[in-house]
Amino acid sequence: AQAMVAETDPQAAALGYKAVAITVDKAKFAKYVAGQECDNCALYQAKGSATAGGCSLFGTKQVAAKGWCSAYAKKA
């Protein structure tokens, strides 16, 4: 399996990435709306796994399907 993005990776931390979207700090990220998660984000690239996939912001590392970051953009 490909490496996962860690919440502590500098870019992930800068974007407020959480592997479990419901743990997002809503005080810091007021834009977060319940139900938003990587697998319904326009930047997510599903790769045959229900639990993780690519994100165009994170290169070859994978993000959690149930994750979230402040660059979230609703899939059209």
Binding site for ligand SF4 (CB under 6 A): 17, 38, 41, 43-44, 55, 57, 63, 67-69, 71-72
27 versus 32: smaller Cβ distance to ligand SF4 = 32
- For residue 12, the 8-state DSSP code is H
Long-range contacts of 17-20 (CB under 8 A, 24+ apart): 17/63, 17/67, 17/68, 17/69, 18/67, 18/68, 18/69, 19/63, 19/64, 19/66, 19/67, 20/64, 20/66, 20/67
To the nearest whole angstrom, how small is the minimum distance from the Cβ of residue 65 to ligand SF4? 9
To the nearest whole angstrom, how small is the minimum distance from the Cβ of residue 75 to ligand SF4? 9
To the nearest whole angstrom, how small is the minimum distance from the Cβ of residue 32 to ligand SF4? 10
8 versus 44: smaller Cβ distance to ligand SF4 = 44
